Amino acid sequence: MKRNKLYDVMPSFFNVGWAKFEFKIVKDLCDDEGSKCLGLTDFDSFVISLEEKMEVKAAHHTIIHECCHALCETFGLGGPDEDAEDKIATTNEFITECTTRSLLMFRNLNLELWNLLFGEYNE
């Protein structure tokens, strides 16, 4: 499978205001446990790694997913020391407000990527 063309037209980083996460395209990407995965967000190095061998539709979804990890961390919803056993007690209103602000931040700080992912991008 050849490199997907979405990678060739997307920006090199994702800005969340307090940090810029560099996009890195990685062959045979694996998580900390050694399992193959499509994307990873590293809060220590501010890198979003994406599997090189991914169809455009899967890459499109994965880029949004990994950007959401960075946005959620901005509002205190998870991050590098997150424990799978931890539960966050919150309200629908809080999650809705965080989501709204995250989407606005995404658009305002990353218009080129926003337009690419949510605009009229065609394979």
pLDDT tens for each residue of 52-83: 999 988 999 999 999 999 998 887 776 555 55
Q: Give Rg (Cα) of the chain.
A: 15
DSSP β-ladder status, 20-26 and 47-51? parallel
Task: Tell which residue, 66, 55, 59, 89, has the closest CA to residue 16.
Answer: 66
How far, in Å, CA of 28 to CA of 96, rounded? 35
Q: How far apart are CA 29 and CA 109, in angstroms?
A: 27
Please say whether the beta carbons of 67 and 61 come within 8 A.
Answer: no
Q: Does residue 87 register a pLDDT over 80?
A: no
Alpha carbons 123 and 117: distance in angstroms, whole number:
11
3-state secondary structure of 78: coil
Q: What is the pTM of this model?
A: 0.84
